[in-house]
């Protein structure tokens, strides 16, 4: 149903265009409301599972030296922690271009998000390799951690190790092959208890025809910008290096 409120118009537009644009605006308003309704459902989730262990990561600390840090320490003085699993394991010559373009964008957000909740990026490569890549990429605000030596990604779907046989069969994955995956997980800390709050499970949900999983679109401005264009996303996909 069309809502009654003053509508915009642009120079020399046709009545046909305005009618279609008004209908689209109504759909955009409905989507905005649905987006907030989904966010409210997320905020009202009951307590998630307690973490199985206080995972130990490696990061670059004082004097540019590697140091160990536990997941519990990453919260600082905040009750919430965000961790993004980056597809950049030691077996990859270069990291996933999809993850990389997203982190290019999130590096700017990482100036602001930690005012409300710490944001970390984890990957299985050694910390020196991650730090060198971040430097080359020009990431000034992201906090990168190495999961080398811990099972964080296996527990929280930063790789495919924990997929059930049923999930593998549904997606055509072989039982003896594993690789890293993009995954955003949010954790909450209450006293000494740390629980999983939310994970981007849409990454592993069935794709709609002609789409990929779109599991992290909510935090990805590249796809949002392209969705505003007449050409849309098309079959284009980001690259790590556009000069090649």
Residue 147 · residue 57 · CB < 8 Å: yes
Question: What pLDDT sits at residue 3?
Answer: 77
- Are residues 189 and 161 part of one domain? yes
Question: What pLDDT sits at residue 29?
Answer: 96
Task: With a cut of 70, say whether residue 181 has pLDDT above it.
Answer: yes
- Are residues 167 and 67 part of one domain? yes
Question: What pLDDT sits at residue 228?
Answer: 96
Question: What pLDDT sits at residue 7?
Answer: 92
- Are residues 83 and 26 part of one domain? no
- Are residues 89 and 25 part of one domain? no
Task: With a cut of 90, say whether residue 205 has pLDDT above it.
Answer: no
Domain boundaries, position 10:
1-44
Residue 95 · residue 137 · CB < 8 Å: no
Question: What pLDDT sits at residue 79?
Answer: 98
- Are residues 92 and 12 part of one domain? no
Instruction: Give the pLDDT band (50/70/90) at residue 211.
Output: confident
In a domain, 21, yes or no: yes
Instruction: Give the pLDDT band (50/70/90) at residue 212.
Output: confident
Q: Which of 37-51, 59-73, 218-232 has the lowest mean pLDDT?
A: 59-73
Residue 48 has which token pair?
Answer: 């998630």
- Are residues 183 and 78 part of one domain? yes
Overall average pLDDT of the 211-231 stretch = 92
Task: With a cut of 70, say whether residue 63 has pLDDT above it.
Answer: no
Question: What pLDDT sits at residue 118?
Answer: 98
Percent of the chain with pLDDT over 70: 99
Residue 124, exposed/middle/buried by CB under 10 A (0-12, 13-18, 19+)? Answer: buried
Overall average pLDDT of the 2-13 stretch = 89
- Are residues 195 and 116 part of one domain? yes
- Are residues 40 and 60 part of one domain? no
Q: Which of 29-33, 182-186, 210-214 has the lowest mean pLDDT?
A: 210-214
The torsion angles phi and psi of 181, rounded to 5 degrees, stand at: -135, 155
Overall average pLDDT of the 214-231 stretch = 94
Say how many domains are in the chain. 2
- Are residues 89 and 7 part of one domain? no
In a domain, 12, yes or no: yes
Sign of CA dihedral 214, 85, 157, 33: negative
**0.75 exceeded by pTM:** yes
Instruction: Give the pLDDT band (50/70/90) at residue 1.
Output: low
Instruction: Give the pLDDT band (50/70/90) at residue 47.
Output: very high
- Residue in the structure block whose two tokens are 């320490």: 73
Q: Which of 76-80, 143-147, 164-168 has the lowest mean pLDDT?
A: 164-168
- Are residues 132 and 14 part of one domain? no
- Are residues 86 and 198 part of one domain? yes
The torsion angles phi and psi of 183, rounded to 5 degrees, stand at: -155, 130
Overall average pLDDT of the 65-79 stretch = 96
- Are residues 180 and 83 part of one domain? yes
In a domain, 22, yes or no: yes
Mean confidence (pLDDT) of the chain: 94
Distance from C-alpha of 10 to C-alpha of 182, rounded to nearest angstrom: 41
Overall average pLDDT of the 17-46 stretch = 96
């Amino acid at each position: 149903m069309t809502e009654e409120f003053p509508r915009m118009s642009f120079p020399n537009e046709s009545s046909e265009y305005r009618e279609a644009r008004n209908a689209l605006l109504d759909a955009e308003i409905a989507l905005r409301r649905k987006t907030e309704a989904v966010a409210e459902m997320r905020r009202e989730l009951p307590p998630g599972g307690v973490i199985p262990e206080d995972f130990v990561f490696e990061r670059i600390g004082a004097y540019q030296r590697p140091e160990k840090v536990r997941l519990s320490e990453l919260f600082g003085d905040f009750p919430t922690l965000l961790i993004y699993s980056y597809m950049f394991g030691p077996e990859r010559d270069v990291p996933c271009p999809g993850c990389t373009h997203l982190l290019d964008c999130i590096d700017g957000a990482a100036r602001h998000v930690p005012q409300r909740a710490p944001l970390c990026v984890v990957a299985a490569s050694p910390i020196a390799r991650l730090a060198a890549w971040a430097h080359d990429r020009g990431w000034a605000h992201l906090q990168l951690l190495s999961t080398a030596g811990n099972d964080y990604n296996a527990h929280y779907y930063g790789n495919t190790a924990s997929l059930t046989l049923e999930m593998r069969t549904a997606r055509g994955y072989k039982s003896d092959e594993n690789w890293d995956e993009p995954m955003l997980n949010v954790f909450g800390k209450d006293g000494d208890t740390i629980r999983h709050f939310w994970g981007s499970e849409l990454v592993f949900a069935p794709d709609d025809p002609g789409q990929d999983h779109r599991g992290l679109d909510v935090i990805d401005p590249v796809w949002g910008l392209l969705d505003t264009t007449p050409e849309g996303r098309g079959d284009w996909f980001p690259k790590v290096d556009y000069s090649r």
